[in-house]
Amino acid sequence: MTLGETFRAAAICDRVSTAVFWVVATLSALLLLFESFLTSIVQPILIVAAIGGIGIGIATTLLQTRGNSLLRESQLSNSLGANIGDAVRPDYYNNDLPNSLGRLAATTLENTLHTLRVLSRMLWRERTVTLVYLILFVLLMAFRWTSLPWLLLLAQTLFSTEVAWRWFRMERFSFRTNQVHNRLRQFFQQGGKTKTPNGIALALATFTDYECAKDEAALPLDTKTFDKLNPSVSAEWDEMRRRLNIS
């Protein structure tokens, strides 16, 4: 699979995994409401959906990390003049620095800028969903008449991979990306000398930190949000590289 095909497959698996999760949550709620009537029908579906959801989640992680690996090879090829990965489109990286660690540092800075802007939009939704479920969970716990099965269902939903854990992974990804972005921006503000030992170490360390953050999160970025924000973020990048004297 090519770089683009791998990321598209990961995004599709991620959407399917989310859909399966909410189907399972809905069926579980229906089972509590109509236990005697739906048990024989819903339970087999729940088992199949749960197993399928686990498999799709694993596939998402594997495809996303594979895509990250292919993109990493492409970035190294583009930055260092190597030939170890698929070529990206000509306008993917927007700087005119010669092949060097300086170019690698600049492309990493650009990547972190785009990632931060997309994550800020994605996090708004994740924070909203998590907060709503948390408030609902606390309110239901405050009422003595709330049955234990409903509390367990809500707790299972809230602290699942698709709500609280997904939000936490996204927050951590954003935090680590922001750290890399700030270090690189400060580096270029101070001259961006990548031929010194400290400059070489920082260029390689920030590139590695950002790539590790991506693989740790294993979260596909929303392509619609990326495409929508791309013109404004690209303009922001042009202004940033002008201020930082990145050709």
Tokens representing 29 are: 């709620």
- 14-30 confidence digits (pLDDT tens): 999 888 878 877 777 77
Predicted local confidence at residue 159, as pLDDT:
63
Residues 6+ apart with CB under 8 A from 16: 56
Mean pLDDT by 10 residues, the chain (247 residues): 88 88 77 67 76 87 93 89 73 81 93 96 90 80 69 65 83 97 94 88 95 94 92 94 87
User: What is the number of H-type helices and E-type strands within the chain?
Assistant: 7, 0
User: How many C-beta atoms surround the C-beta of residue 44 within 10 A?
Assistant: 10
Instruction: For residue 121, give Cα distances in angstroms to 60, 125, 131, 172, 230.
Output: 21, 7, 16, 15, 13
Nearest-angstrom CA–CA distance, 64 and 86: 16
Contact between 167 and 127 under an 8 Å Cβ cutoff? The reply is yes
